[in-house]
Amino acid sequence: MNNLIKGENHDWEMVIGLEIHAQVKSNSKLFSSSSTKFGSSPNSQVSLVDAAMPGMLPVINKYCVEQAVKTGVGLNAKINNYSVFDRKNYFYADLPQGYQISQYKYPIVGEGKVTIDFKDGTSKDIRIVRLHLEQDAGKSLHDQNPSKTYVDLNRSGVALMEIVSEPDIRTPDEAGMYISKIRSILMYLNTCDGNMQEGSLRADVNISVRKPGEEYGTRCEIKNLNSIKFIKQAINYEAKRQIEILESGGSIEQNTMLFNTSTGKTRPMRNKEEAHDYRYFPDPDLLPLEISEEEIGKIKSSIPELPDQLKNRFIETYKLSNYDASVLTAEKQTSDYFNETINSDSELKNHAKIVVNWITSELFSLLNKNNLDLNNSPVSPENLGQLIKLISTNEISGKIAKDVLEDMFSSGKTARQIVDEKGLQQVTDQDEIAKVIDEVIAENPKMVEQYLAGKDKLLGFFVGQAMKLTKGKANPKMLNDILKSKLK
């Protein structure tokens, strides 16, 4: 695979690292008992602690700690028995304390790795540097009043996990696959809802370019990207920008950039000189976080099957390809759907590949067309299972099955109902098929002559004609066999 970008004189390689901010799935905030519900009316979920009233003190939410440990285990990472909360000091209107409580020197989770799978069956490990817990800030609302800024503190104090990768990513696609993989793991673990539109998962992208094999170049950081599409766009634009500068003899300034989603361009937010001095120091209001091996063990034992384990199980049990299995396990809802479908009838286990294809191509494309996802699919796994069973037992042909699925999708009826109502059963009666073939042969004597003279390709023509007459219902294999025997 070629990951390089063509330059004027030589190729360029991107070097990319991601900092993912994942909102911890928890009913209450990291250091207060306020609710974390999204979309509530402004400042309705703000405790005295969240508003940083004088004399208010943070108290760690143990559930959020467990969620972070769980996530660490899911990222194959080292869980640190000792970690420390630090204050990151800076002024902003939506940062009520004047500092964010985060973890600096001693994060709760250390080095780990995740694997991404490519279409060609290969895979790659992306190393994780660390995961730490921190508070989210509130929101500044600039568009409510022409001369004022309003502040909504509902999000202030909500727990985030910051997951930092090594700069192991080399292409925008890999970046997309990496964040998808992280998202998938978090959702399997139920430690983050993965909702990128609502900002539950967002990423800062560090990117530099270099001649392959050379030292890393100077990097820029693109802040706060909340969709995989934007991440890829931003990387592409930023890499091009950097290459243009370098090729015209310039050098890259270490900047923090913002990505404009409507123009698709990045622009500098602040440069290195303007960078904040956050004056990190251990928060004296909080004790160091100590987690015993026993507690870690307990959390480990509560962890469900993760995408990679599930993938391997699917490969082994159903003899699926690595790629098929990774598509199925990329999202929990997909693997759940697959599991329910294949378990709806004991016969289906022998047709796993067909089940995968019907889910990932036919059903997905219908869902896409209708802007739906699996969670609200009008076709239940049982019903899809029934449809596939009809195919595998030759009751209907694959071609007709596509029409049936569309009908199921819009009418909500079962496959059986539709097939019965419309009489779509495959014709498997030898005599009936033979009769149709006789008709076709009789109507096309010239073609028959040509075929017998050696024009084998014409077989398809006869099949097509016969299918037309049976409205597509003839069993294709039987049709073929009878046709061949009659045309000898």
59: contact with other proteins by CB under 8 A: yes
53: contact with other proteins by CB under 8 A: yes
Helices (H) and strands (E) in the chain, counts: 16, 15
The CB-of-355 to other proteins minimum distance in angstroms stands at 52
Total interface residues for other proteins by CB under 8 A: 30
The CB-of-279 to other proteins minimum distance in angstroms stands at 4
The CB-of-282 to other proteins minimum distance in angstroms stands at 8
Considering only the stretches 49-57, 61-69, 258-266, 444-452, report the one whose residues sit in contact with other proteins under the rule CB under 8 A. 49-57
Q: Which of 5, 56, 164, 463 forms a contact with other proteins (CB under 8 A)?
A: 56
48: contact with other proteins by CB under 8 A: yes
Q: Which of 17, 72, 74, 96 forms a contact with other proteins (CB under 8 A)?
A: 96
348: contact with other proteins by CB under 8 A: no
Considering only the stretches 185-193, 276-284, 306-314, 326-334, report the one whose residues sit in contact with other proteins under the rule CB under 8 A. 276-284
Distances (CA, A) of 68 to 92, 107, 143, 307: 27, 10, 35, 18
279: contact with other proteins by CB under 8 A: yes
Q: Which of 5, 19, 38, 60 forms a contact with other proteins (CB under 8 A)?
A: 60
Q: Which of 57, 272, 274, 481 forms a contact with other proteins (CB under 8 A)?
A: 57
The set of residues, in sequence order, having a beta carbon less than 8 Å from that of 237 and lying 6+ positions away, is 259, 264, 265, 266
Per-residue HEC secondary structure of 21-51 comes to: EEECCCCECCCCCCECCCCCCCCCCCCCCCC
Q: Which of 17, 22, 99, 201 forms a contact with other proteins (CB under 8 A)?
A: 99
What are the contacts of 362-366 at 24+ separation with CB within 8 A?
362/402, 362/405, 363/405, 366/405, 366/406, 366/409
55: contact with other proteins by CB under 8 A: yes
416-445 in b/e burial notation, b at 16+ Cβ within 10 A? ebbbeeeebebbeeeeebbebbeebbeebe
269: contact with other proteins by CB under 8 A: no
Do 397 and 431 meet the contact criterion of CB atoms below 8 Å apart?
no
Considering only the stretches 48-56, 228-236, 295-303, 414-422, report the one whose residues sit in contact with other proteins under the rule CB under 8 A. 48-56
286: contact with other proteins by CB under 8 A: yes
423: contact with other proteins by CB under 8 A: no
The CB-of-93 to other proteins minimum distance in angstroms stands at 5
Q: Which of residues 363-422 bind other proteins (CB under 8 A)?
A: none
The set of residues, in sequence order, having a beta carbon less than 8 Å from that of 487 and lying 6+ positions away, is 441, 448, 451, 452, 459, 462
93: contact with other proteins by CB under 8 A: yes
Residue among 133, 208, 185, 129 nearest 332 (CA): 185
Longest CA–CA separation in the chain, Å:
99
The CB-of-139 to other proteins minimum distance in angstroms stands at 13
Place of tokens 């022998």: 350
Q: Residue 428 corresponds to which tokens in the numbers above?
A: 């498997």
Residue among 139, 191, 216, 126 nearest 165 (CA): 126
Pairing of strands 220-225, 255-260: parallel
The CB-of-49 to other proteins minimum distance in angstroms stands at 9
452: contact with other proteins by CB under 8 A: no
Q: Which of residues 111-170 bind other proteins (CB under 8 A)?
A: 149, 151
Do 88 and 104 meet the contact criterion of CB atoms below 8 Å apart?
yes
Q: Which of 4, 5, 38, 52 forms a contact with other proteins (CB under 8 A)?
A: 52
Q: Which is nearer to other proteins, 47 or 341 (CB)?
A: 47
Pairing of strands 112-117, 123-135: antiparallel
Q: Cα(355)–Cα(341) distance, rounded to whole angstroms? A: 8
Binding footprint of other proteins on the chain (CB under 8 A): 48, 51-60, 87, 89, 91-93, 96-99, 149, 151, 277, 279-281, 284-287
